């Protein structure tokens, strides 16, 4: 059996593919099936070592973005996408997989078009509350469609809604459950105060980083602050934070990371009382799995409409507060954190709502669907 995974461009698209691949491996072993060959086709993978760990074969295929703002790059990327489709056709013809699993996004488009040309079965999954354009197009011929947000159901054409299953968002098994013991020692933070975690997205948000640094001295008087700021921002974030915390009593209450590896993520989740984060769908579902109250700061709608819709979908469930970036100031951020930390009943309600919003075993459900269709195709 051969299965091709496609999608990516960001961690929110890429890591659910990894989560599903983990479950495909687990289910085939459990059912004593021949171990499938797994391939990933797309531009440079977001996390290449994750592919190596799961023995997923990488095939590079270019893909052009369609930006929502005016840019000359949109014109040139038309040719990149065209070349990506041609290349994907030859790649799929040489592999001839039993099924394609697509997470959508611009990176998936050439491979899904090639699958359509070669009549290879396609299964898609949509993480956002408003489906992306690549997935809306692919839905017309996909054998099955998994969605994470209930709101996404009505956004797909009526003709394909019978193929939709509300499964949740696939999460890697190794970060699904926090590690409550040893987190303070591992992160070297103060055990006597609550902990706030700030996740600024896989690439880091300069706006959130700046606002957090401007309110850092106020926050560390009462809380530990774990700050995931993005790899490219780490050096200057640390230098500013070090300068501001030097000669204070609170240097052991702040830790900055470019990205959090698996162990660090579980440790942070195990000791955190409130999370401040962007509103990528994968981030939201990880927070929901952990059951941690959150303050979500979506990317502005003129850049990406997805995160705002995701944030308010989650907030309507009672699990989060939404702060729009245009309203974000150091005073408002610290005031919202203090308000939430001062209301145990509100935090308890948000924890309960988060657990209700989260749908466990999403990766396993998608893996089951993929294997069933792939096995039918091999007969």
User: What local confidence, expressed as pLDDT, does residue 287 receive?
Assistant: 96
Q: 3-class secondary structure for 40-54?
A: EEECCCCCHHHHHHC
| pLDDT value at 64 more than 70 | no
Give CA–CA dist 296/279, Å, rounded.
6
206 dihedral zone (left: phi>0; alpha: psi -120 to 50; beta): alpha
| pLDDT value at 282 more than 90 | no
Token pair for residue 253? 């209450």
Average pLDDT over residues 139-145: 95
Tokens 């008087």 belong to which residue?
Answer: 221
Is CATH 3.30.70.20 what the domain over 2-169+360-378 is classified as, yes or no?
no
List, in order, residues 6 or more apart from 179 with CB less than 8 Å away.
Answer: 263, 266, 267, 269, 270
User: What local confidence, expressed as pLDDT, does residue 11 receive?
Assistant: 74
Give CA–CA dist 99/375, Å, rounded.
9
User: What local confidence, expressed as pLDDT, does residue 105 receive?
Assistant: 84
Average pLDDT over residues 48-61: 92
| pLDDT value at 68 more than 60 | no
| pLDDT value at 77 more than 70 | no
pLDDT band at 80 (very low <50, low <70, confident <90, very high): confident
User: What local confidence, expressed as pLDDT, does residue 302 receive?
Assistant: 74
pLDDT band at 65 (very low <50, low <70, confident <90, very high): low
SS3 content of the chain, % helix, strand, coil (to 5): 55, 15, 35
Token pair for residue 112? 């899904």
| pLDDT value at 63 more than 80 | no
Residue-range domain boundaries for the chain: 2-169+360-378, 175-357
Average pLDDT over residues 45-54: 90
Average pLDDT over residues 204-209: 92
The stretches of 182-327 forming alpha helices (DSSP H) are 183-187, 206-219, 234-245, 262-271, 281-290, 305-316
Domains 2-169+360-378 and 175-357 share a fold: yes
Percent of the chain residues past pLDDT 70, beyond the cut: 94
Give CA–CA dist 142/160, Å, rounded.
9
Using alpha carbons only, what angle is made at residue 18 by residues 13 and 130, rounded to the nearest 5 degrees? 25
Average pLDDT over residues 169-176: 90
How far, in Å, are 64, 208, 316, 324, 345 from residue 311 at the CA level? 27, 16, 9, 10, 21
* Domain 175-357 homologous superfamily, CATH: Glycogen Phosphorylase B; (3.40.50.2000)
Average pLDDT over residues 183-199: 96
User: What local confidence, expressed as pLDDT, does residue 69 receive?
Assistant: 52
pLDDT band at 278 (very low <50, low <70, confident <90, very high): very high
Encode pLDDT of 100-115 as tens digits: 999 988 888 899 999 9
pLDDT band at 364 (very low <50, low <70, confident <90, very high): very high
Q: Which residues pair with 101 in a beta bridge?
A: 5, 123
């Amino acid at each position: 059996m051969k299965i091709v995974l496609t999608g990516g461009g960001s961690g929110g698209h890429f890591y659910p593919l990894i989560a599903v691949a983990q479950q495909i491996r687990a289910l085939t072993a459990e059912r004593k099936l021949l171990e499938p060959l797994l391939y990933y086709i797309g531009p440079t993978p977001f996390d290449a070592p994750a592919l190596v760990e799961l023995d997923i074969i990488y095939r590079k295929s270019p893909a052009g973005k369609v930006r929502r703002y005016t840019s000359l790059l949109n014109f040139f990327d038309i040719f990149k996408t065209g070349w990506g489709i041609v290349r994907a056709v030859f790649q799929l013809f040489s592999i001839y997989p039993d099924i394609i699993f697509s997470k959508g996004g611009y990176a998936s488009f050439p491979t899904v078009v090639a699958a359509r040309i070669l009549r290879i079965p396609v299964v898609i999954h949509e993480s956002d509350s408003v489906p992306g354009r690549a997935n809306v197009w692919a839905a017309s011929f996909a054998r099955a469609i998994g969605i994470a947000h209930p709101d996404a159901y009505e956004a797909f054409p009526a003709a394909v809604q019978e193929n939709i299953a509300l499964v949740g968002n696939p999460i890697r098994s190794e970060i699904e459950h926090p590690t409550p013991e040893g987190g303070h020692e591992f992160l070297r933070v103060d055990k006597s105060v609550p902990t706030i975690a700030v996740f600024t997205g896989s690439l880091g948000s300069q706006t959130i980083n700046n606002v957090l640094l401007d309110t850092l001295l106020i926050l560390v008087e009462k809380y530990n602050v774990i700050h995931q700021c993005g790899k490219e921002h780490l050096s200057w974030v640390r230098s500013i934070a070090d300068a501001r915390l030097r000669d204070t009593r609170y240097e052991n209450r702040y830790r900055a990371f470019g990205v959090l590896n698996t162990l660090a993520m579980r440790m942070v989740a195990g000791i955190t009382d409130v999370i401040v984060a962007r509103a990528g769908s994968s981030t939201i579902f990880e927070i929901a799995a952990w059951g941690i109250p959150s303050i979500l700061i979506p990317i502005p709608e003129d850049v990406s409409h997805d995160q705002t819709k995701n944030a308010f979908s989650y907030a309507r469930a009672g699990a989060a507060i939404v702060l729009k970036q245009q309203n974000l100031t150091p005073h408002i951020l610290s005031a919202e954190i203090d308000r939430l930390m001062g209301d145990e009943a509100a935090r308890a309600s948000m924890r309960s709502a988060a657990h209700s919003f989260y749908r466990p075993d999403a990766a396993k459900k998608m893996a089951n669907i993929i294997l069933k269709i792939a096995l039918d195709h091999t007969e």
